[in-house]
Amino acid sequence: MIGKLDLYRVFSIVAKNNSFSSAAKDLYMTQPAVSQAMMQLEKELGTRLFNRTPKGVTLTTEGSLLYEYTNSALGLLDAGEEKLLEFKNLTTGQLKIGVGDTISRFFLMPYLEAFHTMYPNIKLQMLNGTTSEICNFIKSGEVDIGLCNFPIEDPTLQLTACTEVQDIFVCGEKYKTLASKSISFEDLLKFPLIFLEKKSNSRKYVEDYLFARGIHIEPEFELGSHDLVLEFARSNLGIACVTKEFSKDYLQRGLLYELTLIESIPTRSIGMCYLKSVPLSRATLKFVEIIEQKQERKRINPRFIQ
């Protein structure tokens, strides 16, 4: 049974060739099959499309009108198929990523560089936000994938931890003597504290950990970026809670000093998240593969540089 779209494709080829037999060769069909298909289309449309002569066929007035629309429609379909093939081959398309500034700077960049090198025609779009905001971006379809601070409790999201990070406390020159001894969480409360803002997932993780031990913090400063937290500590405005892996430059240059805690805060993770219920685009799948492959190489060889 020939479908309606196939009938129009046969009609277009017959019209171009002005011949059932020539169209049959192009379509790898028999001439009777082509003739029968055109009779079926004429019957369904209730009009004659071809003038049949011993030398071939010509379009009727109605046939010429239909051919203009059919040729245009089939052209659009072919263009659509070509565009889909480009998406499949990753020669065009878009990858939308939700990520915060700090994770983007200290974790994401090598993977973006690798992806862009492999697929330079894929447009990259970054949407900045906190972990909770990024999760909402994912659910609303504004981004394809998010890179966030874990933990995240959301059954609708597929979560993949990528790397562990350590939350620590640091200080500047004014409080440098504190770095020479072990200090308790209770002792920290005696000094002005510098934290990220409350909606930050990393802030919530540390705050929940301390609260479970009966310690309630009231920071002197609550800031919107990790870089600001570092700068406030360097300016001797208090003791800051930061992510060690994102503070190495300050620590190695002696701009800040890490405090030795009697009880260290457990490590947490940074990872990828995306909707379980929605299939990932081909571009997103390739991006996930790049991250997973590089992370596996790091596990096998800890000295591997991204």
Q: How many CB atoms lie within 10 A of CB 108?
A: 19
pLDDT digits (tens, 9 = 90+) for 7-37: 999 999 999 999 999 999 999 999 999 999 9
pLDDT digits (tens, 9 = 90+) for 78-102: 777 777 776 777 878 889 999 999 9
**Prediction pTM value:** 0.72
pLDDT digits (tens, 9 = 90+) for 185-202: 999 999 999 999 999 999
Q: Are strands 268-275 and 94-99 parallel, antiparallel or unpaired?
A: unpaired
When computed from its CA atoms, the radius of gyration of the chain, rounded to whole angstroms, is 32
d(CA 285, CA 280): 6
Which DSSP letter does residue 106 get?
Answer: I
Longest distance between any two alpha carbons in the chain, whole Å: 105
